[in-house]
Amino acid sequence: MSGLEGQVALITGAARGQGRSHAVHLARQGVRIVAVDLCESIDEFFPLATREDLDETIAAVAEAGSEAIAVVGDVRSSASMKAAVDLAVNRFGTIDVLVNNAGIIKVQAIDEFSDHTMDVVIDTCLKGVFNTTRFVAPIMKAKRSGRIINIASSAAIRAVGYLSPYVAAKGGVVSATKSWAVELAEWSINVNALAPGGVDTEMLSGMAGQAGIDLDEYRERVTARHLLQEGGCVPVEDISAMVVYLAGEHASVITGQVFTVDAGMSAG
Ligand SMILES: NC(=O)c1ccc[n+]([C@@H]2O[C@H](COP(=O)([O-])OP(=O)(O)OC[C@H]3O[C@@H](n4cnc5c(N)ncnc54)[C@H](O)[C@@H]3O)[C@@H](O)[C@H]2O)c1
């Protein structure tokens, strides 16, 4: 058992992909979910999730035996994340677990990035993690407990070209994780990062489109960096299982760590 029954988790980027999976896996442990997503697309990027996607997450959480609220919000905006945190507290009373999962990516050479594409990637993947954590930390401090799980990437550990703002932002997430682990340990708040390898979500197909490569071929290129080849992409359920573990009672003495769930990609 995870000991998570009755807790409240705020998950960003929860409308689809890994975020939805984390919501459902936590819901199966009896966790109530605050599902946050932008629910609109951004110019020059592949389509992001929609409001219908977010509603599907809410339905999936209900099917898993728990309850969820949908919050349309932008992790790039501190005001928007403050409002999301306030809504969560008004509805469920507290936040026990924060999963900083929202992300976006652009496959481009360093001399092709525009101000816009760099800002969107860095503001979403790095600043977005600050914009939630800074408002959730006081809630966790007040009750002297909490778990923060930041979704980084194996690309933050083993270098990958043509993704440099993303790689740099995810590297920043790893550094911020360690800094917050040191800072927040006094209040028994554990902060860890998860670094997935290639996961077969809309992000991966979006990257194939940005690179101008057929999806099957792109998937093969990504998984070619995995040491364990049999499974293809990293199963999203395996990442969610790690989220549940890090949120749960058996991870109480784990903080400031980066867990790669990447079929060995970062070891190679
Ligand atoms: N797919 C992979 O291969 C892979 C590998 C390593 C790490 N990751 C990371 O995993 C996380 C989940 O990605 P995914 O694979 O599920 O992709 P995804 O594109 O399916 O999900 C990302 C979600 O974030 C939301 N989002 C984007 N910008 C937002 C914003 N400004 N505010 C709020 N929500 C926003 C999107 O609408 C979407 O629902 C991301 O942080 C990603 O960087 C993905």
Question: Does residue 268 fall inside a structural domain?
Answer: no
The amino acid at residue 2 is S
Residue 266 CB less than 6 A away from ligand 1:
no
Low-confidence ranges of the chain (pLDDT < 70): 1, 231
Question: Domain with 231 in it: what CATH number?
Answer: 3.40.50.720
The answer to whether position 2 is within a domain reads no
Whether this model's pTM surpasses 0.95: yes
Q: How far is the CA of 186 from the centre of ligand 1 (A)?
A: 31
Domain carrying residue 171: 8-263
Predicted confidence at residue 137, as pLDDT, reads 98
Number of domains in the chain: 1
Residue 3 within a domain: no
pLDDT, position 67: 98
52-111 pLDDT tens trace: 999 999 999 999 999 999 999 999 999 999 999 999 999 999 999 999 999 999 999 999
User: What's the mean per-residue pLDDT of the chain?
Assistant: 97
Closest ligand 1 atom to 18 CA: 16
Distances (CA, A) of 114 to 9, 59, 75, 110, 162: 35, 38, 20, 9, 13
Residue 245 belongs to some domain of the structure: yes
Closest approach atom of ligand 1 to CA 222: 3
Which letter does DSSP use for residue 267 in this model? G
pLDDT of residue 231: 66
Please choose, from the candidates 197, 152, 149, the residue with its C-alpha nearest in 3D space to the C-alpha of residue 173.
Answer: 152
Ligand 1: does its nearest atom lie under 6 Å from the Cβ of 189?
A: no
Task: Please report whether residue 68 resides in a domain.
Answer: yes
Report whether residue 165 contacts ligand 1, using a CB cutoff of 6 Å.
no
**How many residues would you count in the chain?**
268
Ligand 1 centre to CA of 102 (Å) is: 5
Domain membership of residue 142 (yes or no) is: yes
Please work out whether the CB of residue 223 comes within 6 Å of at least one atom of ligand 1: no
